[in-house]
Structure 1
Amino acid sequence: MQAGRLNNSEQSRRAKNRARVSQRNHKGSKGLYLWQQKRNQRHKKKRHTN
């Protein structure tokens, strides 16, 4: 019984986290995309120097 309750609370916490993350991504999706591009460019440079 107790384990089931703990599991439910864990699931609800994950759902809340997912909602918050999706909201944040929706608000700053453009900035996140540009930041990922920059990061990928840095990693590409490192890969070429190896």
Structure 2
Amino acid sequence: DFPYSRQKAAFPLPYVSGNKFWPSVRRVDDAYGDRNLICSCTPIEAYAEVE
């Protein structure tokens, strides 16, 4: 359904095929990690100005 092939999509220029880096990534704890996000940020109250 696209005007280009899968090969052209992955390697749009000739020099890319020799230097393409495919990182190995996966989801965090599969679907559980998607539904239960973990944030180690400071609570928003810590940014409130004290008057």
| TM-score bucket (shorter structure) | 0.3 to 0.5
> Given the two structures, how large is their TM-score scaled by the length of structure 2?
0.33
- Greater share of helix: 1
User: Which of these two proteins has the greater Rg computed from alpha carbons?
Assistant: 2
> Given the two structures, how large is their TM-score scaled by the length of structure 1?
0.33
